Each structure stands twice: as structure tokens, then as C-alpha cells.
Amino acid sequence: MFTTRFAPSPTGRLHKGHAFSALTAWSAAKAAGGRFLLRIEDIDPTRCRPEHEAAILEDLAWLGLDWETPVRRQSVHLSDYAAAIEALKARDLLYRCFRTRKEILDRIGDAPHGTSETVRPGPHPAEEEARFLAQGRPFAWRLSLDRARETLGEATWTGLVFIEQGAGPDGETGVVPVRPETAGDVVLARKDAGVAYHLAVIHDDALQGIDHVIRGQDLFEAAHVQRLIQALMGWPAPVYRHHRLLAGPDGRRYAKRDQSVTLAELRAGGMTAQALRAELGFSPDG
């Protein structure tokens, strides 16, 4: 059965861009006679707040959306993600990276133009790694693209694709060849903060039977590395449907960091859910 989801992080109030994305996924599920799930992606303890989660539920209900319960909250399932990390480590697919962001940026500045040093710093020499461990320095677990390629084999690596039913930023659609090198050796976990987004999101998509991932074009590039991890873990590959990003009157896309007008503020100003749905191109009546 067609199953999709809306998976916000409770780091602030929802805005029009969130409403458009949630309505796009919800409407697609309704049109297909399928399932719509809500998932709270709250793995960042420094930014996620219970009050923001409560506000998300309030805003989505105001929009007229409904979803299955119980809602999966990622912070309750950290042991699931830890087990996946351990499985990757046992296959030597991850390596410890002690480099800070500044150190990596400095290396980029010193590297020849066109290198991928920015995201492929590589493992530390064994003696250096042992010294850093003894010092208790923080580190991240990075996915080694070299080891991933060896593990999958050349034929599988070069033949890896994902299906795009929407469009990427440059019009990419249909069968899209996977280019994991564009993301490089991504961080999948940190010593002090647990799992990273890329692993948690596809773990839950597989667990919850999500077969259609409907989300904004700003996450199109993430599909490349996520499809690679799905192949490494033996998890099913969903169909992707990336949609356009909503922009405000100034031409800038709506974003929390820009303090875009929130749904709560629109509601307080007198806008009805029916009017907002119509403005965003959806039926006012659901």
C-alpha cells in the first residue's frame, strides 16, 4: 500500500513551506488510498523542544491533516540506530574522524582546486588515532566510500539508482544514477550525539514501510547517499518525489533560520486553514 510520511524536527514553529510539504504528502496518500504517517525527528537534544513538538501537532491539526498513531518519536529509539551503527562498524564501513570542522576547512584551503577533501578526510594513521582515543578527544563516525564500493562490488556500485517521480533542482527525474561522491564520507554518528540524520531517517523509512518519500528539493542530494546506505544495509529503496520549494515575496525560500512567518502567526492574524490551503494550491475542504 502507498505509504508516505511527514517528518519534521521540533526545532521551531512550522511555516508555509512546512505546510506545503505536509499537504503535498498527505494529499498524495489520500489520492492513492494509502497511509500517511507523522514522524518526529528529534535526535538533536540541543535544538529539539517538547513545546515545538506540541506546536507541530497543533498546526497540522489546524490544517486539517490526520495521521496514524502512535507517532514515532526518534529520541525514544536511539538504541535502534546504535545497533545499525554497530552493524556498519562490524563490517569496517565506518572510520573515526577526530578532525574539527575548522581543520577540514583548512585542509580544503591547502588542497589543489577540485579535490573532494571537504567530505573525504580519510582515516587517521593508527598511532594518531590511538593517541586521540587515549586523550578522550571527541570524534565522528564517517562512512567510508572506498569501503562501501569494495563491499558492494563495482557492478552494483556503478549500477545504483533511485526512482524520482518529482524533480530535482536541475530537473532530474525518472531513473537517477546514484552519485554518493557528491556527499563524500558523510557523518553517520558522533561519540557524544549519537546517530546522524542520514541513517536515522532511512532506518525509520524501512521500519515503517515508507515506499514513497515526498519532500522538498532541498533534500534531493541527500537521496544519493541515503540510497547507498539502503543498499549497504539491505533496506528497501522507496520511490522519491521531490517537490518545489515555496518562497516568500522576497524570493527567498521559507526557512526557520530566517524567522519566516509561522502558521501560528498567520492563524493569530486571522487567516483560516481553508484560505491557506487554497493559497498553497490545495482544496480548501480537504
Cell of 276: 491557506
What amino acid occupies position 31? A
Question: Pairing mode, if any, of strands 194-195 and 187-190?
Answer: antiparallel
Cα gap 197→177, rounded to integer Å: 22
* Domains, the chain: 1-76+247-285 (3.40.50.620), 77-197 (3.90.800.10)
8 A C-beta contact, residue 123 and residue 95? yes
Cα gap 36→28, rounded to integer Å: 9
The per-residue pLDDT for 272 is: 96
What amino acid occupies position 280? L
The per-residue pLDDT for 193 is: 64
- Tens digits of pLDDT across the chain (286 residues): 999 999 999 999 999 999 999 999 999 999 999 999 999 999 998 899 999 999 999 999 999 999 999 999 999 999 999 999 999 999 999 999 998 877 776 665 554 444 444 568 889 999 999 999 999 999 999 999 999 999 999 999 999 999 999 999 999 999 999 999 988 999 999 876 689 999 999 999 999 999 999 999 999 999 999 999 999 999 999 999 999 998 877 777 767 665 678 999 999 999 999 999 999 999 987 7
The per-residue pLDDT for 247 is: 80
E strands, 7-139, in order:
35-40, 72-73, 94-97
The per-residue pLDDT for 112 is: 47
Polymer length of the chain: 286
Task: Count other Cβ atoms within 10 Å, centred on residue 210.
Answer: 22
Task: Report which DSSP code applies to 115.
Answer: -
What predicted TM-score, i.e. pTM, was given to this entire model? 0.91
